[in-house]
Amino acid sequence: MKRFLALLASGATVMGLTVLASPPAAAATGCKVEYTVTSQWQGGFQGGVKVTNLGDAVSGWQLKFTLPGSGQKVVQGWNATWSQSGSTVTAAGIDWNKNLATGGTADVGFVGSFSGANPAPTGFTLNGVACTGTVGGGGDDDDPPPATGGGTPVETNGQLHVCGTNLCNQYNRPIQLRGMSTHGLQWFSKCYNNASLDALANDWKADLLRTAMYVQEDGYETDPAGFTSKVNSLVDMAEARGMYALIDFHTLTPGDPNYNLERAKTFFASVAARNASKKNVIYEIANEPNGVSWAGIKNYAEQVIPVIRAADPDAVVIVGTRGWSSLGVSDGSNESEVVNSPVNATNIMYAFHFYAASHKDNYRATVSRAASKLPLFVTEFGTVSATGGGALDRASTTAWLDLLDQLKISYANWTYSDANESSAAFKPGTCDGGDYSSSGVLTESGALLKSRISTPDNFPTS
Q: Which of 284, 288, 335, 337 is flagged as catalytic? A: 288
- Amino acid identity of residue 299, one-letter, is N
The pLDDT value recorded for residue 138 is 39
Q: What backbone phi and psi angles, to 5 degrees, belong to 285?
A: -90, -15
The pLDDT value recorded for residue 429 is 97
Burial of 1 (0-12, 13-18, 19+ CB in 10 A): exposed
Q: Flag residues of the chain having pLDDT under 50.
A: 1-25, 137-146
Q: Which of 284, 337, 380, 421 is flagged as catalytic? A: 380
Cis preceding-peptide flag for 456 (omega within 30 of 0):
no
Model confidence pLDDT, tens digit, residues 210-236: 999 999 999 999 999 999 999 999 999
Q: CA-CA distance, 28 to 53, in Å (whole number)?
A: 8
Other beta carbons within 10 Å of 171: 15
pTM: predicted TM-score of the whole model, two decimal places = 0.72
Was domain 153-453 assigned CATH 3.20.20.80?
yes
What's the alpha-carbon Rg for the chain, to the nearest Å? 22
- Amino acid identity of residue 208, one-letter, is L
Contact assessment for residue 170 and residue 149, using Cβ atoms and an 8 Å cutoff: no
* Catalytic status, residue 217: no
Alpha helices (H) along 353-428:
361-370, 394-407
* Catalytic status, residue 421: no
- Where do the DSSP E strands lie in 114-263? 122-126, 129-130, 161-163, 166-168, 178-181, 208-214, 244-250
Between the alpha carbon of residue 240 and those of residues 153, 159, 201, 276, 338, the distances in Å are 11, 15, 10, 16, 36
Kindly give the pairing relationship between strand 122-126 and strand 129-130.
Answer: antiparallel
DSSP-derived letter for residue 19 is B
Alpha helices (H) along 14-123:
none
Its CATH architecture, for the domain 13-130, is Sandwich (2.60)
The pLDDT value recorded for residue 145 is 42
Q: CA-CA distance, 273 to 435, in Å (whole number)?
A: 35
Q: CA-CA distance, 383 to 446, in Å (whole number)?
A: 9
Three-state SS at 381: strand
Residue ranges matching CATH 3.20.20.80 in the chain = 153-453
